[in-house]
Amino acid sequence: MMKNTIRKKILVTGGAGFLGSHLCDRLLSDGHDVLCVDNLYTGTKDNIKHLIANPFFELMRHDVTMPLYVEVDEIYNLACPASPIHYQHDPVQTTKTCVHGSINMLGLAKRLNARILQASTSEVYGDPRIHPQTEDYWGHVNPIGSRSCYDEGKRCAETLFFDYYRQHNLDIKVARIFNTYGTRMHPNDGRVVSNFIVQALKNQSITVYGSGEQTRSFCYVDDLIEALVRMMGTGNSFTGPVNLGNPVEFTILELAEKVIEMTGSSSKINFESLPQDDPIQRQPDISLARERLGWEPSISLEQGLKKTITYFEQLLF
């Protein structure tokens, strides 16, 4: 039964990825017609195989760095590898995906007069000098480092979105996504939550970079998807950018210890040197999201980890 009176045709780029597949689930359950576009570079059909038989779901294998000609009402632009292992594997292509991909999707939105949401990132803040991070902070980013393809690519994408807004009066939304985790994460994506869970389940040494005192804030995927849908539903007077993430802060060492405890693992913690430009602190100020979206996370780290650990247990064993 449709929850909405109008069935919209919605394009989700990167729709076979971790976040994209959960967003496709949500939009279909809300009664919409979903076109999932993905080149399957980091996304996988496994994430969306349960949707293939749905007559209101369609998968199109396509790279957003090439123009796309379809008819839709709304666009969620999530296409881009998001973990350092994947986005550093082909950094030139990562920048192209952020920049050329945004140009192509913005051009499509302009032709269709469609609302478009950009999945930006907390990485636009770089290694921040203010804490927690607010949307008016311009960031502290290395433009020539190994992470720059992603950091600066996403920053340039935001520039393009706001220039289309100013120059063409396009209806845009920009969401800055902080660390998100949950089911369908790739087991080898190098992100801290998936790394720790996989290592713990295999009783391998858990790799902690630096002293482990660097902090992150972890948002469960269901909370994040709710925020994206609410952001898309705001009036055209609200463009963002808006921080989306969990404001509860944990050290990486605390996360490692919690994962070991929850998995009953015999893993030991192994400390290694900190990667280049790895942020020391990362915590969103979500005051704007609370005010404009009426949103804040409801799933605790323990609740989210329990679901994610169960997923990886089934995946690995």
Q: Are 80 and 29 in contact (CB under 8 A)?
A: no
pTM of the model: 0.94
Which residue type occupies 248?
A: V
Low-confidence ranges of the chain (pLDDT < 50): 1-2
**What is the identity of the amino acid at 12?**
V
* pLDDT attached to residue 139: 94
Q: Is 2 inside a domain boundary? A: no
Query: Please, are residues 239 and 165 in contact by the beta-carbon 8 Å criterion?
Result: yes
> Which of helix, strand or coil describes residue 286?
coil
The whole-number pLDDT of residue 227 equals 98
Domain limits for position 166: 9-316
Contacts with 314 (C-beta within 8 Å, 6 or more apart), sequence order:
none
Whole-number Å distance between alpha carbons of 50 and 277? 38
pLDDT of residue 1: 42
Structural domains in the chain (count) = 1
- Domain contains 4: no
In a domain, 118, yes or no: yes
Residue 150 designated active-site: yes
Give backbone dihedrals phi and psi of 37, rounded to 5 degrees, phi first. -115, 125
β-pairing, 269-272 vs 180-181, is unpaired
1 found inside a domain: no
Whether residue 188 is contained in a domain is answered as yes
Q: Evaluate whether 216 touches 282 at the Cβ level (below 8 Å).
A: yes
pLDDT reported for residue 181: 97
Cα(237)–Cα(239) distance, integer angstroms: 6
What CATH number is associated with residue 184? 3.40.50.720
* 108 belongs to a structural domain: yes
Q: What does the pLDDT read at residue 5? A: 65
Structural domain includes residue 285: yes
Mean pLDDT for the chain?
A: 94
Question: Would you say the C-alpha torsion 306, 308, 309, 314 has a positive or negative sign?
Answer: positive
**pLDDT, position 83:** 74
Q: Report angle CA 122, 222, 258 to the nearest 5 degrees.
A: 75
Of residues 41, 125, 150, 220, which has the active-site annotation? 150
Residue 207 included in any domain: yes
